[in-house]
Protein backbone atom coordinates (compact mmCIF):
# COMPACT_ATOMS: atom_id res chain seq x y z
CA UNK A 1 0.00 0.00 0.00
CA UNK A 2 2.98 2.28 -0.63
CA UNK A 3 3.27 5.28 -2.94
CA UNK A 4 5.12 3.02 -5.39
CA UNK A 5 6.13 0.57 -6.54
CA UNK A 6 2.61 -0.73 -6.05
CA UNK A 7 1.37 -4.29 -5.73
CA UNK A 8 0.89 -6.12 -9.04
CA UNK A 9 -2.33 -7.76 -10.22
CA UNK A 10 -2.10 -11.57 -10.66
CA UNK A 11 -3.24 -11.14 -14.28
CA UNK A 12 -0.28 -8.84 -14.90
CA UNK A 13 2.16 -11.27 -13.29
CA UNK A 14 0.75 -14.09 -15.38
CA UNK A 15 1.08 -12.00 -18.55
CA UNK A 16 4.75 -11.40 -17.79
CA UNK A 17 5.27 -15.19 -17.97
CA UNK A 18 4.07 -15.56 -21.55
CA UNK A 19 6.50 -17.48 -23.78
CA UNK A 20 9.47 -15.33 -24.73
CA UNK A 21 9.87 -13.97 -28.25
CA UNK A 22 12.78 -12.53 -30.17
CA UNK A 23 11.83 -8.87 -29.87
CA UNK A 24 14.28 -7.80 -32.60
CA UNK A 25 13.30 -10.31 -35.27
CA UNK A 26 9.77 -11.57 -34.59
CA UNK A 27 7.26 -9.60 -36.68
CA UNK A 28 4.37 -10.71 -34.45
CA UNK A 29 6.11 -9.13 -31.47
CA UNK A 30 6.56 -5.83 -33.31
CA UNK A 31 2.83 -5.72 -34.11
CA UNK A 32 1.97 -6.54 -30.48
CA UNK A 33 4.34 -3.85 -29.19
CA UNK A 34 2.80 -1.19 -31.45
CA UNK A 35 -0.71 -2.12 -30.26
CA UNK A 36 0.46 -1.71 -26.67
CA UNK A 37 1.78 1.76 -27.49
CA UNK A 38 -1.60 2.63 -29.02
CA UNK A 39 -3.27 1.63 -25.75
CA UNK A 40 -1.13 4.23 -23.95
CA UNK A 41 -2.50 6.86 -26.34
CA UNK A 42 -6.05 5.60 -25.73
CA UNK A 43 -5.50 5.99 -22.00
CA UNK A 44 -4.74 9.68 -22.64
CA UNK A 45 -7.67 10.00 -25.08
CA UNK A 46 -5.50 10.93 -28.04
CA UNK A 47 -4.22 9.71 -31.38
CA UNK A 48 -0.84 11.29 -30.67
CA UNK A 49 2.20 9.03 -30.88
CA UNK A 50 3.16 7.03 -27.80
CA UNK A 51 6.23 4.89 -27.37
CA UNK A 52 7.86 2.77 -24.67
CA UNK A 53 11.35 3.35 -23.32
CA UNK A 54 13.22 0.49 -21.68
CA UNK A 55 14.13 2.03 -18.35
CA UNK A 56 12.45 3.29 -15.17
CA UNK A 57 10.52 6.54 -15.51
CA UNK A 58 13.48 8.79 -14.73
CA UNK A 59 14.67 7.81 -18.22
CA UNK A 60 11.63 9.59 -19.64
CA UNK A 61 12.33 12.78 -17.69
CA UNK A 62 15.95 12.70 -18.83
CA UNK A 63 14.94 11.89 -22.41
CA UNK A 64 12.48 14.77 -22.66
CA UNK A 65 15.12 17.26 -21.54
CA UNK A 66 17.82 15.74 -23.75
CA UNK A 67 15.59 15.66 -26.82
CA UNK A 68 13.95 19.09 -26.58
CA UNK A 69 16.69 21.30 -25.11
CA UNK A 70 19.47 22.92 -27.10
CA UNK A 71 22.26 24.83 -25.33
CA UNK A 72 21.07 28.27 -24.31
CA UNK A 73 17.34 27.47 -24.34
CA UNK A 74 15.31 28.99 -21.51
CA UNK A 75 13.20 26.49 -19.57
CA UNK A 76 10.46 27.42 -17.11
CA UNK A 77 10.40 25.00 -14.17
CA UNK A 78 6.96 25.09 -12.53
CA UNK A 79 7.38 23.61 -9.10
CA UNK A 80 5.37 23.04 -5.95
CA UNK A 81 7.29 20.01 -4.72
CA UNK A 82 10.61 18.16 -4.82
CA UNK A 83 10.01 16.37 -8.12
CA UNK A 84 9.01 19.61 -9.81
CA UNK A 85 12.17 21.38 -8.68
CA UNK A 86 14.25 18.38 -9.79
CA UNK A 87 13.80 19.47 -13.40
CA UNK A 88 16.27 22.31 -12.81
CA UNK A 89 19.17 19.88 -12.49
CA UNK A 90 18.17 17.74 -15.47
CA UNK A 91 17.56 20.69 -17.80
CA UNK A 92 20.80 22.44 -16.88
CA UNK A 93 22.81 19.33 -17.72
CA UNK A 94 21.71 19.78 -21.34
CA UNK A 95 22.71 23.44 -21.43
CA UNK A 96 19.43 25.12 -20.54
CA UNK A 97 19.00 28.26 -18.51
CA UNK A 98 16.22 27.49 -16.04
CA UNK A 99 13.83 29.96 -14.46
CA UNK A 100 11.76 28.98 -11.44
CA UNK A 101 8.06 29.48 -10.88
CA UNK A 102 7.78 28.22 -7.31
CA UNK A 103 4.44 27.65 -5.66
CA UNK A 104 3.30 26.61 -2.18
CA UNK A 105 3.82 22.82 -1.82
CA UNK A 106 0.60 22.46 0.17
CA UNK A 107 -1.49 23.79 -2.70
CA UNK A 108 -1.95 23.14 -6.39
CA UNK A 109 -0.25 25.58 -8.76
CA UNK A 110 -2.54 28.62 -9.09
CA UNK A 111 -3.01 29.21 -12.80
CA UNK A 112 -3.92 32.87 -12.35
CA UNK A 113 -0.57 33.49 -10.63
CA UNK A 114 1.26 31.64 -13.40
CA UNK A 115 -0.56 33.80 -15.94
CA UNK A 116 0.61 36.98 -14.19
CA UNK A 117 4.16 35.64 -14.25
CA UNK A 118 4.00 34.85 -17.98
CA UNK A 119 2.66 38.32 -18.72
CA UNK A 120 6.05 39.66 -17.61
CA UNK A 121 8.29 36.86 -18.93
CA UNK A 122 7.20 34.25 -21.47
CA UNK A 123 10.36 33.77 -23.56
CA UNK A 124 10.67 30.03 -22.90
CA UNK A 125 11.10 27.13 -25.29
CA UNK A 126 9.48 24.73 -22.87
CA UNK A 127 8.05 24.45 -19.39
CA UNK A 128 8.00 21.49 -17.02
CA UNK A 129 5.31 20.56 -14.52
CA UNK A 130 4.57 17.57 -12.32
CA UNK A 131 1.04 16.20 -12.57
CA UNK A 132 1.01 14.56 -9.13
CA UNK A 133 3.67 15.35 -6.55
CA UNK A 134 4.00 11.98 -4.84
CA UNK A 135 5.83 13.34 -1.75
CA UNK A 136 3.07 15.84 -0.92
CA UNK A 137 -0.09 14.31 -2.35
CA UNK A 138 -0.90 17.39 -4.47
CA UNK A 139 -2.19 17.10 -8.04
CA UNK A 140 -1.76 20.05 -10.40
CA UNK A 141 -4.35 21.07 -12.99
CA UNK A 142 -2.32 20.20 -16.08
CA UNK A 143 -5.30 20.95 -18.33
CA UNK A 144 -5.43 24.60 -17.29
CA UNK A 145 -1.63 24.91 -17.12
CA UNK A 146 -1.14 23.29 -20.53
CA UNK A 147 -3.72 25.51 -22.24
CA UNK A 148 -2.11 28.61 -20.74
CA UNK A 149 1.39 27.65 -21.84
CA UNK A 150 0.09 26.73 -25.30
CA UNK A 151 -1.25 30.27 -25.71
CA UNK A 152 2.29 31.52 -25.16
CA UNK A 153 3.69 28.96 -27.65
CA UNK A 154 5.63 27.21 -24.89
CA UNK A 155 6.07 23.44 -25.11
CA UNK A 156 4.71 21.66 -22.01
CA UNK A 157 6.46 18.62 -20.53
CA UNK A 158 4.38 16.78 -17.92
CA UNK A 159 5.76 14.33 -15.38
CA UNK A 160 2.69 12.15 -14.85
CA UNK A 161 4.57 9.19 -13.40
CA UNK A 162 2.22 8.86 -10.41
CA UNK A 163 -0.73 10.50 -12.14
CA UNK A 164 -1.20 8.56 -15.35
CA UNK A 165 -4.32 6.34 -15.18
CA UNK A 166 -5.21 7.58 -11.68
CA UNK A 167 -5.84 11.24 -12.53
CA UNK A 168 -7.84 12.60 -15.46
CA UNK A 169 -5.58 13.57 -18.34
CA UNK A 170 -6.91 14.32 -21.82
CA UNK A 171 -3.78 14.93 -23.89
CA UNK A 172 -5.52 16.90 -26.65
CA UNK A 173 -7.71 18.98 -24.36
CA UNK A 174 -4.75 19.90 -22.16
CA UNK A 175 -2.68 20.94 -25.20
CA UNK A 176 0.43 19.46 -23.61
CA UNK A 177 3.37 18.21 -25.66
CA UNK A 178 5.11 15.42 -23.75
CA UNK A 179 3.52 13.24 -21.08
CA UNK A 180 5.87 10.93 -19.19
CA UNK A 181 4.36 7.94 -17.41
CA UNK A 182 5.70 5.12 -15.29
CA UNK A 183 4.58 1.51 -15.07
CA UNK A 184 5.08 0.97 -11.34
CA UNK A 185 2.49 3.40 -9.95
CA UNK A 186 -1.21 3.53 -10.93
CA UNK A 187 -0.81 1.04 -13.76
CA UNK A 188 0.62 -1.51 -11.31
CA UNK A 189 2.77 -3.19 -13.93
CA UNK A 190 6.37 -4.27 -13.38
CA UNK A 191 9.01 -1.60 -12.72
CA UNK A 192 11.33 -0.89 -15.63
CA UNK A 193 9.49 0.95 -18.42
CA UNK A 194 8.70 4.56 -19.26
CA UNK A 195 5.74 5.60 -21.40
CA UNK A 196 6.02 8.69 -23.59
CA UNK A 197 3.18 10.42 -25.42
CA UNK A 198 4.33 13.23 -27.69
CA UNK A 199 2.63 15.97 -29.73
CA UNK A 200 3.36 16.95 -33.30
CA UNK A 201 4.67 20.30 -32.03
CA UNK A 202 7.27 18.51 -29.94
CA UNK A 203 8.18 16.21 -32.82
CA UNK A 204 8.63 19.25 -35.09
CA UNK A 205 10.82 20.90 -32.45
CA UNK A 206 13.09 17.86 -32.32
CA UNK A 207 13.31 17.73 -36.13
CA UNK A 208 14.21 21.43 -36.28
CA UNK A 209 17.13 21.16 -33.85
CA UNK A 210 20.36 22.88 -34.90
CA UNK A 211 22.49 20.93 -32.41
CA UNK A 212 22.43 17.10 -32.18
CA UNK A 213 20.78 15.60 -29.11
CA UNK A 214 23.39 15.30 -26.37
CA UNK A 215 22.02 12.02 -25.00
CA UNK A 216 22.17 8.65 -26.73
CA UNK A 217 20.09 6.07 -24.86
CA UNK A 218 17.64 8.79 -23.79
CA UNK A 219 17.33 10.31 -27.28
CA UNK A 220 13.68 10.33 -28.41
CA UNK A 221 14.81 10.39 -32.06
CA UNK A 222 16.03 6.81 -31.72
CA UNK A 223 12.54 5.62 -30.77
CA UNK A 224 10.78 7.50 -33.56
CA UNK A 225 12.63 6.10 -36.57
CA UNK A 226 13.76 2.63 -37.61
CA UNK A 227 17.52 2.10 -37.77
CA UNK A 228 19.41 -0.40 -39.92
CA UNK A 229 16.22 -2.36 -40.55
CA UNK A 230 15.36 -2.77 -36.86
CA UNK A 231 12.04 -1.54 -35.48
CA UNK A 232 13.44 -0.61 -32.06
CA UNK A 233 16.65 1.24 -31.23
CA UNK A 234 17.57 -1.22 -28.46
CA UNK A 235 16.48 -4.71 -27.50
CA UNK A 236 13.05 -4.57 -25.89
CA UNK A 237 11.87 -6.59 -22.89
CA UNK A 238 8.83 -8.62 -23.88
CA UNK A 239 8.44 -9.66 -20.24
CA UNK A 240 7.90 -6.05 -19.17
CA UNK A 241 5.83 -5.08 -22.22
CA UNK A 242 3.57 -8.14 -21.80
CA UNK A 243 2.93 -7.03 -18.22
CA UNK A 244 2.27 -3.43 -19.28
CA UNK A 245 -0.13 -4.52 -22.01
CA UNK A 246 -2.24 -6.48 -19.51
CA UNK A 247 -2.13 -3.61 -17.01
CA UNK A 248 -3.37 -1.22 -19.70
CA UNK A 249 -6.25 -3.58 -20.49
CA UNK A 250 -7.27 -3.47 -16.82
CA UNK A 251 -7.04 0.33 -16.70
CA UNK A 252 -9.07 0.69 -19.91
CA UNK A 253 -11.76 -1.80 -18.86
CA UNK A 254 -13.68 0.58 -16.56
CA UNK A 255 -13.62 4.12 -15.16
CA UNK A 256 -10.23 3.73 -13.53
CA UNK A 257 -9.88 7.42 -12.61
CA UNK A 258 -13.27 7.50 -10.87
CA UNK A 259 -12.33 4.44 -8.83
CA UNK A 260 -9.13 6.20 -7.71
CA UNK A 261 -11.08 9.36 -6.83
CA UNK A 262 -13.60 7.42 -4.75
CA UNK A 263 -10.95 5.55 -2.74
CA UNK A 264 -8.93 8.75 -2.26
CA UNK A 265 -11.92 10.53 -0.74
CA UNK A 266 -12.66 7.55 1.49
CA UNK A 267 -9.03 7.49 2.68
CA UNK A 268 -8.88 11.19 3.48
CA UNK A 269 -12.13 11.07 5.43
CA UNK A 270 -10.91 8.03 7.34
CA UNK A 271 -7.67 9.78 8.32
CA UNK A 272 -9.42 13.01 9.32
CA UNK A 273 -11.96 11.11 11.41
CA UNK A 274 -9.01 9.78 13.41
CA UNK A 275 -7.95 13.37 14.13
CA UNK A 276 -5.03 13.57 11.72
CA UNK A 277 -4.09 16.43 9.40
CA UNK A 278 -3.58 15.89 5.69
CA UNK A 279 -0.59 17.81 4.34
CA UNK A 280 -2.24 19.01 1.11
CA UNK A 281 -4.68 21.86 1.72
CA UNK A 282 -6.30 21.60 -1.70
CA UNK A 283 -5.81 19.83 -5.05
CA UNK A 284 -5.54 16.58 -3.14
CA UNK A 285 -4.36 13.64 -5.18
CA UNK A 286 -6.40 10.65 -6.30
CA UNK A 287 -3.31 8.48 -5.93
CA UNK A 288 -1.49 9.25 -2.68
CA UNK A 289 -2.30 10.89 0.65
CA UNK A 290 0.38 12.42 2.88
CA UNK A 291 -0.57 12.44 6.58
CA UNK A 292 1.18 14.56 9.19
CA UNK A 293 2.32 12.79 12.36
CA UNK A 294 1.56 13.78 15.93
CA UNK A 295 4.49 15.23 17.89
CA UNK A 296 4.99 12.04 19.90
CA UNK A 297 5.02 9.70 16.88
CA UNK A 298 7.82 8.58 14.58
CA UNK A 299 7.60 7.30 11.03
CA UNK A 300 9.67 4.25 11.97
CA UNK A 301 7.17 3.25 14.66
CA UNK A 302 4.18 3.47 12.34
CA UNK A 303 5.79 1.85 9.28
CA UNK A 304 7.25 -0.92 11.44
CA UNK A 305 3.94 -1.65 13.16
CA UNK A 306 2.15 -1.71 9.81
CA UNK A 307 4.71 -4.07 8.34
CA UNK A 308 4.23 -6.37 11.33
CA UNK A 309 0.58 -6.52 10.25
CA UNK A 310 1.48 -7.33 6.66
CA UNK A 311 1.29 -3.91 5.02
CA UNK A 312 3.95 -1.64 3.55
CA UNK A 313 3.11 2.06 3.51
CA UNK A 314 5.54 4.88 2.73
CA UNK A 315 7.46 7.35 4.82
CA UNK A 316 7.88 10.94 3.71
CA UNK A 317 10.62 12.66 1.69
CA UNK A 318 12.80 15.80 1.80
CA UNK A 319 11.38 18.48 4.14
CA UNK A 320 8.63 16.13 5.35
CA UNK A 321 10.97 13.26 6.24
CA UNK A 322 10.21 12.08 9.77
CA UNK A 323 7.11 14.28 9.93
CA UNK A 324 4.60 12.34 7.87
CA UNK A 325 3.67 9.04 6.28
CA UNK A 326 2.04 8.31 2.91
CA UNK A 327 -0.67 5.92 1.77
CA UNK A 328 -0.57 4.89 -1.89
CA UNK A 329 -4.17 4.35 -3.00
CA UNK A 330 -3.37 3.53 -6.59
CA UNK A 331 -3.55 0.69 -9.08
CA UNK A 332 -3.78 -2.83 -7.71
CA UNK A 333 -3.43 -1.46 -4.15
CA UNK A 334 -7.13 -0.52 -4.35
CA UNK A 335 -8.51 -3.19 -6.70
CA UNK A 336 -9.81 -5.26 -3.78
CA UNK A 337 -11.92 -2.91 -1.66
CA UNK A 338 -12.18 -5.31 1.27
CA UNK A 339 -8.41 -5.77 1.37
CA UNK A 340 -7.89 -2.00 1.25
CA UNK A 341 -10.37 -1.41 4.07
CA UNK A 342 -8.55 -4.05 6.12
CA UNK A 343 -5.37 -2.03 5.68
CA UNK A 344 -7.14 1.11 6.94
CA UNK A 345 -8.42 -0.79 9.98
CA UNK A 346 -4.88 -1.95 10.69
CA UNK A 347 -3.69 1.65 10.35
CA UNK A 348 -6.38 2.79 12.77
CA UNK A 349 -5.21 0.21 15.29
CA UNK A 350 -1.60 1.36 14.93
CA UNK A 351 -2.36 5.08 15.16
CA UNK A 352 -4.60 4.74 18.21
CA UNK A 353 -2.19 2.60 20.22
Architecture per CATH, 256-352: Alpha-Beta Complex (3.90)
- Looking at residue 231, its pLDDT comes to 86
pLDDT at 238: 95
What Å distances lie between residue 157 and 87, 174, 219, CA to CA? 10, 11, 15
**Quick one: fold of 11-252?**
3.40.640
Q: How many CB atoms lie within 10 A of CB 191?
A: 16
Q: What is the pLDDT of residue 24?
A: 86
Q: What is the pLDDT of residue 51?
A: 97
Nearest CA to 49 out of 233, 202, 247, 192 is that of 202
Mean pLDDT of 23-48: 95
- How far is it, in rounded angstroms, from Cα 294 to Cα 277? 9
What's the rounded Cα separation, in Å, for the pair 134 and 86? 13
pLDDT in tens, 158-168: 999 999 999 99
pLDDT for res 55: 96
pLDDT (tens digit per residue) in 215-266: 889 999 999 887 766 788 888 999 999 999 999 999 999 999 999 999 999 9
- Phi, psi (deg, nearest 5) at residue 179: -115, 125
Spell out the domain ranges in the chain.
11-252, 256-352
CB 32 within 8 A of CB 57: no
Amino acid sequence: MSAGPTSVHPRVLEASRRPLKNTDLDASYVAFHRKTEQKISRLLQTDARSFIMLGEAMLGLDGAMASLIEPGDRVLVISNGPFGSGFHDIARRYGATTVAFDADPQHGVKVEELEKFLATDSDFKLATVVHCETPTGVTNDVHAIGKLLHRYHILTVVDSVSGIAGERLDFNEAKVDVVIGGTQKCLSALTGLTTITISQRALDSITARQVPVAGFYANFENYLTSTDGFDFPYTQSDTLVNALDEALDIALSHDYVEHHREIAELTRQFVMDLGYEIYAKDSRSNTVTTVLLKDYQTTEQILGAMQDRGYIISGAMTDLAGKAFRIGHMGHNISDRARYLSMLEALKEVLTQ
